[in-house]
Amino acid sequence: MKTFNKLLLLAFASLSIGLGSCDKEDECTLTCGTGEVLTADCTCVKIDASNEVKVTSNVTANTTWTKDKIWILTTRITVAPGVTLTIEPGTIVKGEAGSGANATALLVPRGAKLIAKGTAASPIIFTSFADKIQPGQIESPNLDNSVNGLWGGLIVLGRAPISGSGSAEAVQIEGIPASDVNGLYGGTDPNDNSGEFTYISIRHGGANIGEGNEINGLTLGGVGSATKVENIEIISNQDDGLEIFGGTVNVKNVIVWNAGDDQFDMDQAWTGTLENFIAILGSDSDHGLEFDGPEGSRTGGFTVKNGSLKGKGNGTAITNGEYADFRDKLECTLENVYFFNFSTSSDFELDNAGVSDNWASGKIVLKNLEFNVSHLTSGNTTLDAIFKDDGGRDADFNTAAAGFAKIVTAKSTGANKSAFTGWTVSDKKGQLTDF
């Protein structure tokens, strides 16, 4: 995890709120009136505070949040076990600023359900209270897409098996204080159902709850295979974009843009599949992929396939993070992935002997990985330089790389970006052009 200067971020957010954000700032001379905000296309939008509903307590009965209202999380809001929260397509949910134990977030614990079925025409948007976005809008009229840490995030927990410390069946999720028992995740039901989440955009999150401990954009802890998670966008989260802790859930069509730490982070012997994904690293991003293995006695592997990752490279400059980092006796399959625009020092690393042993024994399978380094004139421009095994088999790993990876000047594999066109801010801001 990374810790950033929150005061600087909040100051920047305040500046964005006051000035608006206009793609044509040099041309736009429009002055908005009281209660209006300047939009990116140089128009004034009326802010209607009368449609805001402040959510100040946990959801303790089956409830529907409707699209005609903006739902304001004033603190950490928990959907009580046995209760279903339904969020209509097109609904906007905003989190007020907060940190530490008061960081705002929506928590769906074990036994609760969230039914948040957005559509391509009407995605569900989770964002900061500082965002002046109104129902019917997809883009923020005032917040720059680089601002992060303004609220918490979406946390979903289930009773599917995990590999926590020792042989613990359930452990406490990061980002939730240990005093909150709703933060426990894990169990014995691989088919557990936490609900359905489709066409959701999560923005500007990652509030810090303690030193170096921020909330992920979307956290899935011990989530079971009966849960549907598809068509998710995560923008500018201060910590990881998507992090999965154990469980069996399958995830499809996810785009992460400008996460402050890792774009995708998998932990604790998750045994599901991530299919069709895009990562767009920002200047503060760490890894495109960080894959961690079991923390306890339970083992198991996952599959990640059909993805494209864009680094923040700049010629020969060292400006961004790594392709991938494999850790902690990981077991996984990674296939059909295209990496491009990374930096001179970016590498793909097996971190230690446990990971190296698993690769050597076939528990880590790599297939059809493409690396476009045509923008670099020096540095890690060969497979030998890109692939590193810190577990003692570096020469073997380099030799084997030619069988599962290649240097290319154009992609022949990777993500299908059509899943993200039309409904994501990433698309509307031109971030998908190179994909």
Residues 320-329: pLDDT tens digits?
A: 689 999 999 9
Strands annotated E in 76-211 = 76-78, 84-87, 92-95, 105-108, 113-117, 124-128, 154-157, 171-172, 184-185, 195-203, 208-210
Judged by DSSP in three states, 359 sits in: helix
Residue 198: both structure tokens together: 């489709």
| pLDDT for position 7 | 34
Q: What is the pLDDT of residues 14-72, one digit of tens each?
A: 333 333 334 444 467 777 776 676 665 676 766 677 899 999 999 999 999 999 999 99
Interval 121-166: pLDDT, tens: 999 999 999 999 999 999 999 999 999 999 999 999 999 999 998 8
Distance (Å, whole) CA 158 – CA 169: 12
Tell me: the pLDDT tens digits for 195-217?
A: 999 999 999 999 977 655 779 99
Residues 6+ positions from 294 with CB-CB distance below 8 Å: 163, 268, 269, 300, 328, 329
CB atoms within 10 A of CB 404: 15
CA distance 392 to 402: 19
Domain boundaries, the chain: 47-276, 301-421
Query: What is the phi/psi pair of residue 101, to 5°?
Result: -65, -15
User: How many Cα atoms are found within 13 Å in the side-chain-facing hemisphere of 300?
Assistant: 22
The helix or strand, by DSSP H or E, that contains position 210, with its residue range, turns out to be: strand 208-210
Q: How high does pLDDT run on average in the chain? A: 89
